[in-house]
Amino acid sequence: MADCFAVPAKELDFKKATHVFQPLFGENSIVLLEGRSHHLQRQLLMPTFHGDRLKAYGQLICQITQEVTRSWTAGSSISMQQVMPDITLQIILQVVFGMSPGVRYQQLKELLSSLLEDVTKPWYSSLFFFPPLQKDLGAWSPWGQFLRRREEIDQLIYREIYERRLLNDGSRTDILSLLMSACDEDGQQMTDMELRDQLVSLLLLGYETTAAVLAWVFYLIHFHPEVKYRLMQELDGLGTQLNPDDISQLPYLTAVCQETLRIHPIALICTPRMVKDTVEIAGDKFTSGTVLVPCIYLAHRRVETYPEPENFKPERFINQKFSSHEYLPFGGGYRGCIGAAFSMYEMKLVLATIMSQFQLALADSHPVHPVRRGITIVPSGGVRMVVS
């Protein structure tokens, strides 16, 4: 599978698999672009989710987590699957958009979460797979409703872009500002529609995914008290003043997040890749038209790589390093997830902030199981917890 990620871009076609996202993300989305324009967008976006740029978001991530959890008191009952998207959506709105809480922020937050809520329902998502169903028969028809809500979201985004252009504040460091000031080799800036498509893609791909992993982590560490004990020992070692940099480097916390993504990868498969001309991968020939689907779930359950693969054992990641074809929760190659480093960083900070402030317990002792929600796999029952 490592070789599958290494196949040169020009040999593979992604459009056949990603075109279903077009009505949602728009034709200029990084997910739908191919060839040179895809490469350029990745070059532009990748640095904003890596290295020193990540550190700039640390305080913000901890602060948003504290604000959302401020109302928790002893006895509060919480559904992790509801609270986590609230945290991660606010993080992405502030990091990507550079928006501060206010009327437009609140409207966008509500519209995006209700849109995502709808598109993850099986009957609603079928609209995207069957174009003949995409008929606007008025505001009450499913497609008509989708188009109207998308229009509302777009208007809010275009308004934000318009105001930013007027203000022309060169000191801003959010991702929208960066995209707005970028030029291609002919000196052309991105159009409003191109900006919109990129923003909506990052927003929709970037928050539910991380929120789902967080819900899994909370469940797994509370279902395995020995893991929770070791994690709390590590967190206690940081003292009372939590520093995002220190948190992100904690080895056991990192291993807990990695093992969660191994045992419950949010995406079971990578984006399918269609072979254009014959390619050879690990000695096998694949002819034109073959669809290659790297399977994350199966790679993560290989007993040769992960002894007792069904067991949650974060220490695997302390003792050993895994190659890109053994461990691939974020896919790989030139289509690999651009938010991988960002979401790992975010997960660790959200988890550490909550675990060092609250004593939580699972509301019931039944094991949860994976269920499909749109293109992600989430824990059943919403992971209900009680603050003790």
Please, how many CA atoms are within 13 Å of residue 274, restricted to the half-sphere of its CB?
11
Candidates 266, 355, 360, 385: give the one binding ligand HEM (CB under 6 A): 266
Contact string (CB under 6 A) for ligand HEM, positions 19-38, x = contact: -----------xx-------
Q: How far apart are CA 226 and CA 278, in angstroms?
A: 50
User: Of the ranges 58-66, 225-233, 244-252, 336-344, which one interacts with ligand HEM (CB under 6 A)?
Assistant: 336-344
201 near ligand HEM, rule: CB under 6 A: yes
Q: How far apart are CA 159 and CA 154, in angstroms?
A: 8
Q: How far apart are CA 218 and CA 63, in angstroms?
A: 19
**Residue with Cβ nearer ligand HEM (142 or 244):** 244
Phi, psi of 28 (to 5 degrees): -95, 5
Handedness of CA 27, 32, 35, 40 (dihedral sign): positive
Distance of closest approach, residue 309 Cβ to ligand HEM, in angstroms: 18
Distance of closest approach, residue 252 Cβ to ligand HEM, in angstroms: 19
- How many H helices and E strands in the chain? 18, 10
Candidates 54, 93, 199, 202: give the one binding ligand HEM (CB under 6 A): 202
Q: Is the Cβ–Cβ distance between 122 and 130 less than 8 Å?
A: no
Distance of closest approach, residue 23 Cβ to ligand HEM, in angstroms: 17
Please, how many CA atoms are within 13 Å of residue 320, restricted to the half-sphere of its CB?
12
Candidates 299, 332, 360, 385: give the one binding ligand HEM (CB under 6 A): 332
343 near ligand HEM, rule: CB under 6 A: yes
Candidates 26, 85, 142, 206: give the one binding ligand HEM (CB under 6 A): 206
267 near ligand HEM, rule: CB under 6 A: yes
254 near ligand HEM, rule: CB under 6 A: no
Residue 273, SS3 per DSSP:
strand
**Of 30, 157, 162, residue with least CA distance to 97:** 157
User: Of the ranges 59-67, 136-144, 184-192, 208-216, which one interacts with ligand HEM (CB under 6 A)?
Assistant: 208-216
**Residue with Cβ nearer ligand HEM (6 or 361):** 6
97 near ligand HEM, rule: CB under 6 A: no
Placement of tokens 């002792």 in the chain? 365
Looking at residue 266, the DSSP 8-state letter turns out to be S
List residues binding ligand HEM (CB under 6 A).
30-31, 42, 201-202, 205-206, 209-210, 213, 266-267, 270-271, 329-333, 335-339, 342-343
